[in-house]
Amino acid sequence: MATPFQKSELLVRQATAADLPQLIELRWASSIEDDVVREPRPAFEARMRAFLERAIADPRWAVWVAADGDRLVTTVYAQIVPKVPRPSPSGAWVYLAGMFTRAERRGEGIGSRVLGAVREWATLRGLELIMLWPSERSVPFYERAGFREADALELEL
């Protein structure tokens, strides 16, 4: 932990199994902030733990974090989605979800650093694009990062 006289180093990296408790905590905090809590916390924690255990072991998923010492401050989930083959070189894209930074750390550029790591990771894998469904308040953040509105339709079930 940094003292007031020293600045700790922020580390952007992929999550590990050791991060599960904090990833669960941050996803709960994000859900409360977005007012989407519809189940008891123990049930959510069990579902989220099972999801994370699978995702961290699955090469199609990358769970990215920014860590300040032992404390996670930002998370985002990236899933590689294969495309139906066409006679063209691109074969997959990235679905980005769950970007969240602790409220007290917003405005420091941490989310931009994490998003940059995801972009580099996707580029190195030759993936075609990154797609997400942003909250209204996050649209300016993603636009500053180069995202633009795309043509898509959705059918809510």
The CATH number of 10-144, from 3.40.630.30, 3.40.50.300, 2.60.40.10, 3.40.50.2000, is: 3.40.630.30
Cα–Cα distance measured from residue 124 to residue 59, given in angstroms and rounded to the nearest whole number:
14
Residue 125 CB partners (closer than 8 Å, separation 6+):
80, 92
Q: What is the pLDDT of residues 113-127, one digit of tens each?
A: 999 999 999 999 999
Mean pLDDT, residues 49-64? 97
Q: Specify the 3-state DSSP secondary structure of 65.
A: strand
Q: Where are the domains of the chain?
A: 10-144
* Inter-residue contact 12 to 66 (CB < 8 Å): yes
pTM: 0.88
- Please count the CA atoms within 13 angstroms of the CA of 20 that sit on its side-chain side: 15
